[in-house]
C-alpha cells in the first residue's frame, strides 16, 4: 500500500483534506463484504462523529465488556488518529468479534454485504438501547419516587365512553414516510430465483442511480433531498462468489476502495459500477497497462483481462482449454499484485469445473 498510498497523496496534492485519513482494510479471507461496508460507514460523517464521540466519552472503554460497538469505535479511532494520511489497517479485532457474535460469518465462504449491514446496525441499536436502559434504571434507583397528589395521572374522572358507529365506507389506502431519515440506505435487489434452473441468478443489467435524490410526494409536509456519498458494489456473475468494492465521496473527491487498495476515480465513472463482471475487468486492464513492466507485453495484459471476464461470466464450458494459456495469465500476476486475488479466483473456478 506504500506505493498506492503515495500515488493517492500525489493525486490529491494540495487538495488532500485536512485531518482526513484514507486507509485500506486488510482482507482476512473473503471479508471484502465487511471491508466495503465499513468504508461506507466510516465516510458517513454523522455516523463516524457520533461513534468517535461515544469512544471518547467512554473513559474506561478498555475495561468495558467487548462488543461490536466498542470494536467498531476502536477501529474508527485507529483510522482517524493515524499519523500517516494513507495506508492499510487490519480490522482483526472487529472481524474476530463479528465471527464470535454470529456464526453466519464464521466461515470463509462468500457473504452478503447487505445482511452484514443489517446485522451490524441492529446490533449497535440493541447495545445502545441496553446501555440507555441501564443508565435510566440507575437514575431511578438513586432518586426518590414522585408522590401522586391527586390520584393517577391521565385518569378519566367523569363522563361515559360510547362506541363509535362502524359502517363500511369506500376508501383509498396511501403510505407516506412520516419522518425522513438523516441517512438513507437503499438496497437494490440484484438476484432473482429462476424456477427452471432451480437456483438464484445475478441480474447484471445496468441500474442508473442519481447522484442527487429528491423524495417528493412521499414525506409529510416536506421534500427531502439526499446526496450520494457511498456505493457498495458486488462484482461477479453469481450469488455464491464474487467480490465487493465500495465507492466513496469524501470532500468532493470520489475514491475507490478495494480491500487494501485505495485510489481516486472520476465522478463520471461512478455510475459505470453496477455489479457486472465486465466493468471490473475493464478496470483491471487499465491498471495492468499502467503498471506493466517491460517484461509483460500489451497483448498479455489484454489476455489477462479477457480471461478474467470469461471466467467470471462462466462462458467457458471447457476450462481444460485454458490450461495452455494459464502461464500467460500468471505472467501478468507475477509482476503486479493488483490481480493476484483474481488469479486465485480463476484457479478456483478452474478446479471447480474440473
For residue 305, pLDDT beyond 80: no
**Does the pTM exceed 0.85?**
no
Q: Model confidence over 154-196: pLDDT tens digits? A: 545 455 556 667 788 888 887 777 788 889 999 988 888 888 8
> Which range has the top average pLDDT, 3-12, 44-53, 337-346?
44-53
Contact indicator for 88, 26 with CB cutoff of 8 Å: yes
Sign of the alpha-carbon torsion through 234, 236, 241, 244: negative
Contact indicator for 300, 331 with CB cutoff of 8 Å: yes
The Cα 306–Cα 253 span in angstroms is: 30
Contact indicator for 28, 96 with CB cutoff of 8 Å: no
Angle between helices 277-291 and 298-313 (to 10 degrees): 160
Q: Nearest to residue 243, comparing CAs of 163, 341, 175?
A: 341
List the catalytic residues: 32, 243
Q: Model confidence over 82-100: pLDDT tens digits? A: 999 999 999 999 999 999 9
Q: Which three cell numbers stand for residue 293?
A: 513492466
Q: Model confidence over 59-89: pLDDT tens digits? A: 555 556 889 999 999 999 999 999 999 999 9
Q: Which three cell numbers stand for residue 351?
A: 478446479
List phi, psi (to 5°) of 240: -105, 5
Q: What is the pLDDT of residue 143?
A: 63
Q: Nearest to residue 73, comparing CAs of 53, 96, 59, 89?
A: 53
Q: Model confidence over 233-269: pLDDT tens digits? A: 988 777 777 889 999 999 999 999 999 999 999 998 8
Amino acid at each position: 500500500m506504500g506505493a498506492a498510498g503515495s500515488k493517492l497523496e500525489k493525486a490529491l496534492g494540495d487538495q488532500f483534506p485536512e485531518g482526513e485519513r484514507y486507509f485500506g482494510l486488510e482482507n482476512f479471507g473473503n471479508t471484502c463484504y465487511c471491508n466495503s461496508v465499513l468504508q461506507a460507514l466510516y465516510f458517513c460523517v454523522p455516523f463516524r462523529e457520533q461513534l468517535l464521540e461515544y469512544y471518547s466519552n467512554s473513559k474506561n472503554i478498555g475495561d468495558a465488556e467487548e462488543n461490536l460497538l466498542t470494536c467498531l469505535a476502536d477501529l474508527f479511532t485507529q483510522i482517524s488518529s493515524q499519523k500517516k494520511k494513507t495506508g492499510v489497517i487490519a480490522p482483526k479485532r472487529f472481524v474476530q468479534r463479528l465471527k464470535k457474535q454470529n456464526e453466519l460469518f464464521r466461515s470463509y465462504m462468500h457473504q452478503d454485504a447487505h445482511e452484514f449491514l443489517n446485522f451490524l446496525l441492529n446490533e449497535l441499536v440493541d447495545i445502545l438501547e441496553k446501555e440507555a436502559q441501564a443508565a435510566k434504571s440507575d437514575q431511578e434507583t438513586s432518586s426518590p419516587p414522585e408522590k401522586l397528589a391527586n390520584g393517577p395521572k391521565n385518569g378519566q374522572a367523569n363522563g361515559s365512553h360510547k362506541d363509535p358507529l362502524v359502517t363500511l365506507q369506500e376508501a383509498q389506502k396511501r403510505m407516506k414516510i412520516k419522518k425522513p431519515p438523516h441517512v438513507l440506505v437503499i438496497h437494490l435487489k440484484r438476484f432473482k430465483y429462476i424456477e427452471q434452473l432451480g437456483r438464484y441468478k445475478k441480474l447484471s443489467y445496468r441500474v442508473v442511480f442519481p447522484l442527487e435524490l429528491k423524495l417528493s410526494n412521499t414525506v409529510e409536509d416536506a421534500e427531502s433531498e439526499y446526496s450520494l456519498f457511498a456505493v457498495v458494489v458486488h462484482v461477479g456473475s453469481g450469488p455464491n462468489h464474487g467480490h465487493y468494492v465500495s465507492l466513496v465521496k469524501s470532500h468532493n473527491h470520489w475514491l475507490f476502495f478495494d480491500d487494501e487498495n485505495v485510489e481516486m476515480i472520476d465522478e463520471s465513472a461512478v455510475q459505470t459500477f453496477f455489479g457486472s463482471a465486465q466493468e471490473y475487468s475493464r478496470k483491471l486492464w487499465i491498471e495492468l497497462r499502467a503498471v506493466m513492466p517491460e517484461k509483460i507485453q500489451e497483448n498479455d495484459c489484454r489476455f489477462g483481462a479477457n480471461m478474467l471476464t470469461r471466467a467470471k461470466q462462466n462462458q467457458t464450458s471447457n476450462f481444460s482449454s485454458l490450461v495452455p494459456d494459464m502461464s500467460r495469465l500468471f505472467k501478468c500476476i507475477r509482476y503486479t499484485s493488483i490481480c493476484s486475488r483474481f488469479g486465485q479466483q480463476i484457479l478456483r473456478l478452474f478446479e471447480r469445473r474440473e
